[in-house]
Structure 1
Amino acid sequence: MPRTIYATPDDAEQAFYEALSRGDLEAMMNVWSEDEEVVCVQPGGSRFTGLASIREAWRQLFASGMKIKVRISHPIKTQAMLLSVHCVLEHVNIEGDDTIAPPMIATNVFSRGAQGWQMILHHTSPAPDTEGLLLQDTPRIVH
């Protein structure tokens, strides 16, 4: 499968969440940089470093058959010429589960290289306090 070149970090982030919602391992890995220093921390999970361990973590999650829908909101973005950091709230819904879960906090970091913008870090964790999260003034873009 030829690699998609993402023109912006927003394009790469959208592709990441679309791949997650579809449970599409190849599309998910297409978003990630081929650099071995990539890191992924899934909610309540371990820290995975390197493409092989990140691929295996996503493979296991997708193999479970769980259908995950994620909507992001309240982005805070910092972007430089070669690096972009997005801190977002993830609103996660599991297909077949009507529970409304509190949002999670995610940090997505993208680097720009010859192959366009690619993810180098994804870290999601439960929010310890959600009361003030949704009231903050957002979105914000810091340059």
Structure 2
Amino acid sequence: MSTAVFTTPQEAEDAFYEAFSRADLEAMMAVWSEDEEVICIHPGAPRVVGLAAVRDSWRQLFAGGTRLQITVSNEVISAGTLMAIHCVLEHIQVEGDNELHAPIVATNVFMRGALGWRMVAHHASPTPEIDVMGDSGGPLIVH
């Protein structure tokens, strides 16, 4: 059982990205709710459901040894007293790589429980190539 207590959804999200950058599995799982209904979707990967499966997906990702520097921008937040949804752009820099990568669109969902705020869903998708989408001048809809 996690001993971390996140008093706001932002604290939980900050801890999530810090654990992600450090490839720290225990810190990552401290952010997640211990409910079995948690969901994680990594870019280009299938949906993972359940705490054990989510843990295993992060373990596999971190086992690759690649360290990432992640900054978040363009936050759109919808929050209530028990649930918060953060839609962000993740800018990922691979350690030792100077290449500029397209941002990842991510949605992070947090719920407040007896032990504070915890993540219940993370869905990350690559942004579409703008040249592939065409430049129609109209609104760009990703999903």
TM-score, with structure 1 as normaliser = 0.88
Match of 2:103 in 1: 103
Could you say which structure has the larger radius of gyration? 2
In structure 1, how many angstroms separate the alpha carbons of the residues matched to 2:76 and 2:129?
A: 18
Change (3 A) 1:14 1:102: same
Per-residue CA distance 1:25-51 (angstroms, 9 max, x = gap): 000000000010000000111111001
5+ residue gaps in structure 2? 132-143
Identity across the alignment (%): 53
Match of 1:5 in 2: 5
5+ residue gaps in structure 1? 132-143
Per-residue CA distance 1:102-125 (angstroms, 9 max, x = gap): 111000000000010000000000
Superposition CA RMSD, Å: 1.6
Could you say what secondary structure the match of 1:62 adopts? helix
TM-score, with structure 2 as normaliser = 0.88
> How much does 1:130 deviate?
5.8
Q: Structure 1: which amino acid aligns with 2:94? A: I
Match of 1:125 in 2: 125
In structure 1, how many angstroms separate the alpha carbons of the residues matched to 2:114 and 2:34?
A: 11
Could you say what secondary structure the match of 2:44 adopts? coil
Could you say what secondary structure the match of 1:66 adopts? coil
- Please identify runs of 4+ aligned residues in structure 1 that moved more than 2 A: none
